Amino acid sequence: MKKLFTPLLALFLIVSLGSCDKIEDLTNIDFDANLETPNMTISPPLGKNIRTSGYEFLVSNKINPLGNSDIKKYLDKIKKWDINAIEVEVMSVSERNTYLKNGTKLEMKSSKHSAISTFTEDTPIFTGYKYQVPSSVHSQVEKILNDKEEFDVNFMGGLNNNATVIMKVKIDVTITANPL
């Protein structure tokens, strides 16, 4: 009887320990958060660059995930960040026929990680224009978010004219946390 009981006890322990993770997963909660920079203004550009035939600019701002009350509440319990979308939204442009020059970059950077999205062609912009950052960049931004700190958002490149452009960067993310 003792020989039968020991293997059954071992099997019971293995099964019950394996199901603890499943039980813990049942207590996970998902919530959505929208993170964004304050308005970023390109004005005045750094000046005309003969090499690029455009007006160069560099604007910077920050996103602080801890500014979101749900993220702050579950900060130490967050298990996963799943980015749904990252976009650059143009709020206003002072001149018609304005476009971002090929090679313009959007960079997000924490103390440990960075992510860059590069415009690969001249891109017309106008009030209401939304640029969707490619999903290939999402995993790097998830690492930045997992650092759980304020991070830099830099937008640098060129415009074809001397326009003033106001924009913001938005991140739509679903967060999985376990409150237990």
Query: Tens of pLDDT along 12-22?
Result: 545 555 555 55
Query: Tens of pLDDT along 138-167?
Result: 999 999 999 999 999 999 999 999 899 999
Backbone CA torsion sign across 34, 78, 153, 171: negative
Q: Which domains does the chain have, with CATH numbers?
A: 28-177 (2.60.120)
pLDDT greater than 60 at residue 8: no
pLDDT at 130: 97
Query: Residue 26: pLDDT band by 50, 70, 90 thresholds?
Result: confident
pLDDT greater than 90 at residue 49: no
pLDDT greater than 70 at residue 83: yes
Query: Tens of pLDDT along 88-142?
Result: 999 999 999 999 999 999 999 999 999 999 999 999 999 999 999 999 999 999 9
Nearest of 150, 166, 159 to residue 46 by alpha carbon: 159
**Residues in Cβ contact with 54 at an 8 Å cutoff, skipping those fewer than 6 apart:** 48, 101, 158, 159, 160
